[in-house]
Structure 1
Amino acid sequence: MRSDNILTMFLGNKKRHSRDIDPDEIFLDSSNLPQFDTHQFEGRLEQPIPKLSLALLWGFFVLVIVLFSIRLGNLEIARGESFARIAENNRLERVPIFAERGALFDRNGTPLAWNEPLLGEEFAARVYNKMRGLAHVLGYVTYPARDTKGMYYKESFSGMDGVERAYNDVLGGTNGTLLIETDAQGGERSTHRESLAENGENLVLSIDARIEEALYTRIENLARDVGFTGGAGVLMDIDTGDIIALVSYPEYDAGVLANGTPHDVETLLADPRTPLLNRAISGVYTPGSIVKPFLALAALQEQLISPDEKILSTGSIAIPHPYLVGEESVFLDWKAHGWVSMREALAVSSNVYFYEIGGGLPQGGGNEERVGLGIGKIKSYMNLLGFEKRTGVDLFGEEIGVIPDPAWKEKIFHDVWRLGDTYNTSIGQYGFQVTPLQAARAVAAIANGGTLPIPRIVTRIFSDDETNIGGKVLPPKRTQLPIDSLHYAVVREGMRLGVLEGTAQGLNIPVVEVAAKTGTAQVGTVKKIVHSWVTGFFPYEHPRYSFAIVMERGPSDNLIGALYVLRGLLEWMAVETPEYLK
């Protein structure tokens, strides 16, 4: 073959090959694979994206955009104000403007609690009168407090006891707010008062601080000299319920509780004499014979006995023994008084007389049957006179005491009530417990002829632009008792006779005529510890004030008790505050 033909043939073949399909460009599909499964990826090098996948992908992107938009809107719109406040607070500091706490005054205008500037602080210190006996009446406060960064986490005073607690909202006022603008470095740029402080209101108390201190001192001295662990006393206006003195011994130091060291506070809390207890309203004591005037009143109202009918006291009363057939249970009088009427029984404090009018006397053994009040009516009349109830005094922590009855005995001792339980309750023993304030209040009803006053400490509220003789006067409150007024006169006469020739002769003093009832309550099973009581009122002819004093847990062989506290107080009052004895 010629060379040019060979060349032409070669070139022509080359040209034709360039137009043919390259093997690398071949795509495998069902046309060249007869067994190809069109529903699988086998045999494929590429596959187009399905429409559903594209739709899901686009949906995902749209969802992300929508969620982002919602979040952005929430940050910018819904919470924009909140973030703005945060930013503003980084620039503006709010500082409290402390309100002045209201001051306290006694009935004569003597300052009892006030405020003085406190070095290095934006609030004032609370200062209390140093006269003795005021702690439980006034109470104490805790102060505003800051954290380690100097920010206040507690912006107000808090009353923690006494009047400070009971009238905390009235005394506290309302703090104001000072806005301080700062720069990026924390420097102060300007200040602005956002709101003004409203000072608290001032209070006038019914207390006479002079008598309060005199009563406290006499209770303290007797407790130390004789061995009583504590004591309490109340002197009250029988018509208004104004409390002239309310004393609890021992008392506490308000300064220790407000800002004392931990050691000082621990020492106070560990004191076995419990100085934090307000014994006048929270201390409950076995009353002993001071309940006898109230029992006499109930018996007269129920017409169980006339004032002049006499009962024989041979020194004891005997009834059939509840367990031993043929044996007797004997209940003692403190001495044989002979035949005594109601007035005489009150004067000499005859137990037998009050056993019989309280529990009655079953027939037999030479006894003539007598119907007594029974525990149900005893409890009912004691409730009527305010026992086992709160008096309503404007202080926190008041206890109600106990008048024992069958339900109480079943709960405490899981035993049935017996006649002997009624006898013991009739002379203020067994489970009977009262507070000194309850006793003074009930005696007030006897003294005024049947009105039970609501005791009160605060009598007037006034602001800084008023005087302590103006402001809001709080009206007294009282309850009328459904007992014949003639019966009160009999009981008053019996209590006066007790001072003239009975158990309260120590109060037969020239400075004022007193009517009184003493009581000695045995404490515990061995009966070597006693509470010593005296209750009553003065002046006798025109009563103005009732009183109740208890000396707590003294030796039973001691002959000097609560009566001598009152005597010393009255003799002091005759010189220092004679206006109360007229």
Structure 2
Amino acid sequence: MRRILWGRKKRRTAEIHPDEILIDSKNLAHFDTDRLEGRIERPLSRRSFLFVGGILTFLFLGFLARASDLQLIQGEAYATQARENQLAETTIFADRGLIVDRTGTPLAWNEKDSPEDDFAQRIYATQGGIAHVVGYVKPPAKDSSGIYFQETYLGVDGVEKVFDAVLAGQNGIELTETDARGKVVSKARVREPLAGEKLALSIDADVSSGFFEAVAQRAEESRFQGGAGVLMDIQTGEIIALVNYPEFSPTALTSGDPAIIQALLSDPRQPFLNRATAGLYAPGSIVKPFVAVGALTEGVIDESTEILSTGSISIPNPYFPDKPSVFKDWKAHGWVDMRHAIAVSSDVYFYEVGGGFQNQRGLGIAGLDKYFKLFGFATLPGLLGFSQEEGLIPTPAWKEEVFDGDPWRIGDTYNTAIGQYGVQVTPLQAVRAIAAVANGGILVTPTLLASSTAATAALPIDPHTFAVVREGMRLGVEGGTAAAVSVLFVKMAAKTGTAQVGTRNQFMNSWIIGFFPYEAPRYAFALVLERAPAGTLTGAPAAMRTFLDWLNANAPEYFQ
């Protein structure tokens, strides 16, 4: 009982005196209730602590979950996005350099369809005869996400490819700073775009067009599969025209039109082939001026000695003695000296000075090989950057390899001397060779750049020898096989050629090479039309005549 009373006594509060109550009551009216004076303070309940703690715990867990998502699950993606959002690099595309002809006429330039376009479109002149020279490009390209994986035009063919580094220029770079909301804060160009350099070519676009139309018209009317022509300055090696038929459209290829590209690829006439530089053709009789140079230089014959052409020569056949081997001329020419043999294109004359016959000594295949190569055949012409072919001069070693040990025969030499058998040349080689005859023995390296300094090689030939050959070519125009290019407005010198091709000689190539003006040569030319039906009467000489008439009407300054 005492323990209980003691316990209760311990729990009693201190005694409150009456004066304390009276004092608090007296001051009650003066309490500032807005400052919580006079209010009874109570401790927070446990429930309040639990409620506030729960809210804080929920917020913390939410923050932790969001932080885990940002840092662990999507951390790398958001980090990349943050970096890109902060500073982005943009390519400012440089304009590609202009391409112009020797007169300043634009051949390739740039145009923007809209200010919003990333880069300017490459535009090409539409006239014929320049496609294989100018070439085409492949434009900048994006991947499926819209990112440029190719940030420049790439030259694919022609001078666009050869001089790609000169024409390309250098792209600029712009940095764009953005905030977290993607709003542009600032822009700064760290490198200005640098346009490509202008490229001035040696070709004359109008002359090229006229030449192309002449080749195309004759090819179509006489059913030739294709053709090519080259006009070159004999002193500088500058190419005035280099045309191919058929050709392609640079604009269509640059735009990537699938239908047009497929049509070009499936065309059996091979419009992508640059026939002028890489087309190989049996030359036929256009090689005779070079055989003549060799024969005179080696003393095989002099310029005045005549050889009789009765229409053929015959030699014993060791396999069939009763059937001699007959080598025909295209007609009986009678007695001809060197100048007239060139003019009338006597096969018999060149059989004999090429391979020898009876008492007439010949150059032999080694001599033919030597002089063909001296004039640049079977070697690359040296046109910078363009696809070119060396061609072929057949030799005993070549025949033994190709024909499984078959020996060389005199008939092979005869046929080689008139540009048949295995002889293969390009139009560019032909124009370079005849230019050396025209200029007196300087073998120039062809170029497509205007105002070029010629790279040359002097041939060890007596100038008089060249004069004899030039005279023979002039006679060919005055009354020989090249009479088709006899015109009143300029004196021409030329040599024609017809070569049989095909497994049964069922097709023919038609050639003409030459130079003008005759008195003071300035330009050399070569023109070939390929694979017409055998016996076609109108070919390269007629096409060259059409071109000469065009020149006289539209660009007579080339005859001065």
Shorter-normalised TM range: 0.7 to 0.9
Instruction: State how 1:393-412 maps to structure 2 within 5 Å.
Output: 393-412=383-402
Aligned to 1:456: 447
Distance 1:118 1:278 in 2: 32
Asked if 1:519 corresponds to 2:514, the answer is no
Shift of 1:85: 10
- The code of the aligned residue for 1:153 comes to F
Q: Secondary structure of the equivalent of 1:438?
A: helix
Cα gap change, 1:180 to 1:329, in 2 (>3 Å): same
Residues 417/118 of structure 1: CA separation in 2 closer, same or farther (3 Å cut) = farther
Of 198, 203, 217, the residue aligned with 2:199 is: 203
1:527 to partner: Cα distance = 1.6
Number of the residue aligned with 1:375? 365
Match in the other structure for 2:438: 447
Q: How many angstroms apart in 1 are the aligned matches of 2:81 and 2:285?
A: 70
Partner residue of 2:421 out of 419, 427, 430: 430
Q: Matched residues in 2 for 1:90 and 1:435: separation?
A: 59
Matches within 5 A, 1:142-291: 142-291=138-287
| Counterpart code for 1:247 | V
- Tell me which amino acid in the other structure corresponds to 1:427: I
Is 1:116 aligned to 2:130, yes or no?
A: no
Task: Select the residue among 511, 530, 536 that pairs with 1:558.
Answer: 536
Q: What residue in structure 2 maps to residue 103 of structure 1? A: 98
* Residue of structure 1 equivalent to 2:43: none
Q: Deviation digits for residues 325-365 of structure 1, max 9, x if unmatched?
A: 4542111111111111000100110001111111112xxxx
**Equivalent in the alignment of 1:502:** 480
Distance 1:371 1:561 in 2: 34
> Match for 2:218: what amino acid?
L
Structure 2: how far apart are the matches of 1:247 and 1:166?
18
SS at match of 1:309: coil
- Provide, for residues 116-172 of structure 1, a one-character-per-residue CA deviation record: whole Å limited to 9, x for no partner: 114342111111111111111110011011112221110111111111111111111
Deviations 1:190-221 (A, max 9, x none): 22212122211101111111110111111111
> Separation in 2 of the partners of 1:378 and 1:90?
74
Taking the aligned partners of 2:441 and 2:181, their CA distance within structure 1 comes to 74
Tell me the alpha carbon deviations over residues 239-266 of structure 1, each in whole angstroms, 9 at most, x when there is no partner.
0111111100011011221123323211
Pairing of 1:21-60 with structure 2 (within 5 A): none
- Structure 1 residue 88: Cα displacement: 4.8
1:387 alignment partner in structure 2: 377
CA deviations over 1:56-106 (Å, ceiling 9, x no partner):
xxxxxxxxxxxxxxxxxxxxxxxxxxxx99975563222212111110111
Match of 1:539 among 509, 517, 526: 517
- 1:508-555 deviation digits (Å, cap 9, x = unpaired): 210110000000110113222101100000111111110100111112
For the residues of structure 1 that align with 2:387 and 2:101, how far apart are their CA atoms? 22
Q: Counterparts of 2:434 and 2:179 in 1: how far apart (Å)?
A: 69
- The amino acid across from 1:200 in the alignment is G
Closer, same or farther: CA 486–86 of 1 in aligned 2, 3 Å: farther
Once the two structures are superposed, what CA deviation does each residue of 1:29-78 show, in whole Å capped at 9, x if it has no partner?
A: xxxxxxxxxxxxxxxxxxxxxxxxxxxxxxxxxxxxxxxxxxxxxxxxxx
Offset at 1:370? 2.7
Give the C-alpha shift of residue 411 in structure 1: 2.3
- Which structure 2 residues correspond to residues 83-94 of structure 1 after superposition, within 5 A? 88=83, 91-94=86-89
Q: Does 1:333 align with 2:311?
A: no
Task: Tell me the amino acid that sits aligned with residue 103 of structure 2.
Answer: N
One of 531, 548, 551 as aligned partner of 1:573: 551
Q: CA RMSD in A?
A: 1.8
Q: Distance in 2 between matches of 1:259 and 1:266?
A: 13
C-alpha distance after superposition, 1:439-489 (max 9, x if no partner): 011000000000011111112xxxxxxxxxxxxx53222111111111000
Contact 2:516 2:524 in 1 (8 A): yes
The answer as to whether partners of 2:176 and 2:186 remain within 8 angstroms in 1 is yes
Cα distance in 2 for partners of 1:212, 1:255 equals 18
Secondary structure of 2:203's aligned partner: coil
- Given that 2:102 and 2:200 are in contact with CA atoms closer than 8 Å, whether structure 1 keeps it comes out as yes
Supply the AA of the counterpart residue of 2:392: V
Specify every segment of 5 or more residues in structure 2 that has no aligned partner in the other structure, as ranges: 1-78
Return the alpha-carbon distance in structure 1 between the equivalents of residues 315 and 178 of structure 2.
89
Matches of 1:196 and 1:205, distance apart in 2: 28
Deviating runs (4+, > 6 A) in structure 1? 84-87
2:508–2:535: 8 Å Cα contact kept in structure 1? Answer: no
Q: CA deviation at 1:319?
A: 1.4
Change (3 A) 1:454 1:374: same
* Count of residues in correspondence between the two structures: 481
SS of the residue 1:458 aligns to: coil
Q: 1:487-510 CA deviation, whole Å, 9 max, x = no partner?
A: 000000000011111111112210
Shift of 1:181: 2.1
**Amino acid in the other structure paired with 1:389:** T
Give the counterpart letter for 2:423 in structure 1. F
The separation in 2 between residues aligned to 1:297 and 1:437, in whole angstroms, is 20
Report the secondary structure of 2:161's partner residue.
Answer: helix
Give the match for residue 125 of structure 1.
121
In 1, distance between residues paired with 2:220 and 2:322?
A: 49
Deviation at 1:569, TM superposition (A): 1.2
Equivalent residue number for residue 476 of structure 1: 454
Conserved? CA contact 1:284–1:401, under 8 Å? yes
Going from structure 1 to structure 2, the CA distance change for 1:395 and 1:565 (only over 3 Å counts) comes to farther
Aligned equivalents of 1:554, 1:285: Cα separation in 2: 13
Give the equivalent residue in structure 2 for 1:549.
527
> Taking structure 1 as the reference length, what is the TM-score of the superposition?
0.80
Distance 1:522 1:183 in 2: 77
- Tell me, yes or no, if the aligned pair for 1:511 and 1:571 is still in contact at 8 Å: no
> Which amino acid counterpart does residue 135 of structure 1 have in structure 2?
A
- 3-state DSSP class of the match of 2:253? helix
The 2-side partners of 1:121 and 1:147 are apart by 17
- Counterpart of 2:369, as a letter, is K
